[in-house]
Amino acid sequence: MRKLIVISLSGIVFLLATTLMSLAQQTRIWNTTQVYKEITGKEIVSYHEAPALKVKVAAGELPPVEERLPEEPLVMEPIEEIGKYGGTLYLDNVGGEAMAETVIGWKRSGRWAVRWDKDMKNLIPNVLKGYEFSKDGKTVTLYLRKGLKWSDGMPLTADDVMFWYELLADDEITLSKPIQWCAGGELMKMEKINDYEVRIQFAVGNSVFDYNMFYNELYTPKHYMKKWHIKYNPKAEELAKKEDFESWQQCLANHINLNILRGLTADPDMPVLYPWKVSKISTNQLIYERNPYFWQIDPAGNQLPYIDKVLVNIVTDKETATMRAVSGQVDIFSNRTVFEDIPLAMRNREKGDYHVVIGKDTSVAVADYQFNLNCKDEVLAKIFQDVRFRRAMSLAVDREEINNLIFNGMAVPYTIVPPPESQFYDPEMAKAYAVYDPAEANRLLDEMGLEWDKKREFRLRADGEKLNIIVSICSESAERAGVEIAEMVKETWKKVGVDIIIKVVESGLFYNCVHKADFEAADRGHFKKQGDAYMFQQFGAAPVPVYSSRYRSFYAEDWHEWIRSEGKTGKEPPEWYKSYVQNQLQIFEEMKTTLDKERQTELGQQLWRAFVENVWIIGTVGFDPFPIIVKNRLKNYPNQVLQIHLRDAQQYFLTK
């Protein structure tokens, strides 16, 4: 909620109806029933529930719906219409670890403290009722929804937040503290004010804390988890041994992870905040049943979700899953579908009784190339460390041709910079070294002294050998046009005298190699959208390499490891690189603490300009299209690109 942060920093609470009025009109999500009444002039006078739950209420197995909902439930307007209760949603998940909440997106709106609005520009309260910054940005007060309950009927209170913090602060449980909770280099402090208010204190101003709440839960069901904690259960060590763990800390950490994964390794007894909860697990199937205590309603007062059950079949390979989808055996299928699947999906619409929604990936690069500055081949390493080489190779990529020939013009030629909706977006940055210019590329390589061979077919290294580079492509990227793109890049790089050998590497081995700096050049593929929230996440700040995900920025792993370990491991970088990283870190820290929105934007753009000028990572095309197969009986499924990425599965309903 970037436009409202300035207001909140002056002490005005987020959850006030007057503050949220314009925002709710934009998002069609109302933070409370009172806000809904203020904005629409309509009042929700009674609540309704699914027939299956009515039966349980009548049998005395559940309390009435009014007692199961929080005092102030979140109100969500369905995309098309008010839904109908009942039915089973059928899904397929490719691979051994099934996470249905990822397949259809319900984790976004079911458990996160805050969420994006429909335009993915503003953060709004979600599980939290609201939050308030102090004037100096050092203090944030969290407000919980009174009466909100876990799926087992136990209330979510400040005790669950404090238990989450207790586990975070315990060095034996959380060995490494995530940087998003350590503004100013110190772990934040947290205190309980009352059952529904918690105060967080930072060492320095932390104006981006709401971004850090995105993608995160700040609460753990204490009533369930405490039996594995020695402080609350003297027999926790015995319990850990029974579960084959060496210590209660390991056992507790494992159950925390199970609380996150939710797939084949999920704990069926774990209380959740999702619209559905896993109820049955087998080697090839998961069944999720509605959460009778889910805390959202529609404008008619109906408790969500509409659908009773979600059945997920585990399918071992993408080909089988795709054929099951086009034959009409599942209600939604988008797992690992790619652009090439669009014609097949379109041809079988009538036969499979479904329609096709074209989604757009949020990644800014379908394929991205990183040259290893710490390459074991010292001759290559010296070449890669020269910024002129990296700029030349970026200029030698014909992104328009890649987009037209592989994606039929439906993707976007792009490089590794924030997308247009980001506050840090700069159209000039998006073009820097990203327009095909082989003449300039050749000039830069000539300037470096990379001479041509006698036949002028390829360039020579300093040792007289042909300049040949092995490009390792992660198998995940290979599945999504990584090889096809690399083949086109190979042809245009040949025109400037650089030859590459394309090598597809299984993902596990790929990461093992790149983390050891044991590669020449690599394509991880699908470099995630570098939007505002990602800038402030532990794994998203690409222009700050030591903060960045090791799965993404691995062009100087040995140097980064040396910096992260303060010289204990890795290899000491040259002074020019130390200076670059130090400057980026200083800018990043100021950007996170400043309360001036314009200054924050200016600093963020400084970070990205330095990143772009150095061309540490070469992008190709981004925001590639992919087909989503949606059974015609399923209603309220989004058909707009942004809505697809913010889909709220609790609003789906079935017509038959």
State residue 4's pLDDT score.
29
| Least confident span in 250-264, 311-325, 405-419, 462-476 | 250-264
In the predicted model, is pLDDT for residue 6 greater than 60?
Answer: no
State residue 648's pLDDT score.
86
Strand, coil or helix: 7 = helix
DSSP string, 553-597: --TTHHHHHHHHTTTSSS-PPPHHHHHHHHHHHHHHHHHHH---H
Say if residues 529 and 417 touch (Cβ distance below 8 Å).
Answer: no
Say if residues 553 and 617 touch (Cβ distance below 8 Å).
Answer: yes
Q: For residues 160-189, give the mean pLDDT.
A: 89
Locate 89 and state its tokens.
């949603």
Query: How many Å apart are CA 228 and CA 267, to the nearest integer?
Result: 14
| Residue boundaries of the structural domains of the chain | 276-360+633-654, 368-622
Confidence label for 547 from pLDDT (cuts 50, 70 and 90): low
In the predicted model, is pLDDT for residue 429 greater than 80?
Answer: yes
261 or 394, which is more confident? 394
State residue 591's pLDDT score.
84
Q: For residues 114-122, give the mean pLDDT.
A: 76
pTM over 0.75: yes
| Range 368-622 has CATH code 3.10.105.10 | yes
- The top-scoring range by mean pLDDT among 13-22, 39-48, 334-343 is 39-48
Locate 492 and state its tokens.
């245009």
Q: For residues 38-45, give the mean pLDDT.
A: 94
User: What percent of the chain shows pLDDT beyond 90?
Assistant: 57
In the predicted model, is pLDDT for residue 483 greater than 80?
Answer: yes
In the predicted model, is pLDDT for residue 292 greater than 90?
Answer: yes
472 or 534, which is more confident? 472
State residue 25's pLDDT score.
35
Query: How many Å apart are CA 159 and CA 164, to the nearest integer?
Result: 9
48 phi/psi in degrees, rounded to 5? -130, 160
Confidence label for 173 from pLDDT (cuts 50, 70 and 90): confident
Q: Any idea what DSSP says for residue 303?
A: B
State residue 463's pLDDT score.
95
Q: For residues 380-406, give the mean pLDDT.
A: 97
- The top-scoring range by mean pLDDT among 269-278, 465-474, 617-626 is 465-474
Residues 133-155: tens digit of each pLDDT: 998 889 999 999 999 999 999 99
Which residue from 522, 473, 494 is spatially nearest to 374, judged by alpha carbons? 522
State residue 209's pLDDT score.
85
Query: Looking only at Cα atoms, what is the longest distance across the chain?
Result: 89
Which residue from 11, 218, 5, 236 is spatially nearest to 128, judged by alpha carbons? 218
State residue 100's pLDDT score.
63
Q: For residues 428-442, give the mean pLDDT.
A: 94
In the predicted model, is pLDDT for residue 12 greater than 50?
Answer: no
CATH class, domain 276-360+633-654, is alpha beta
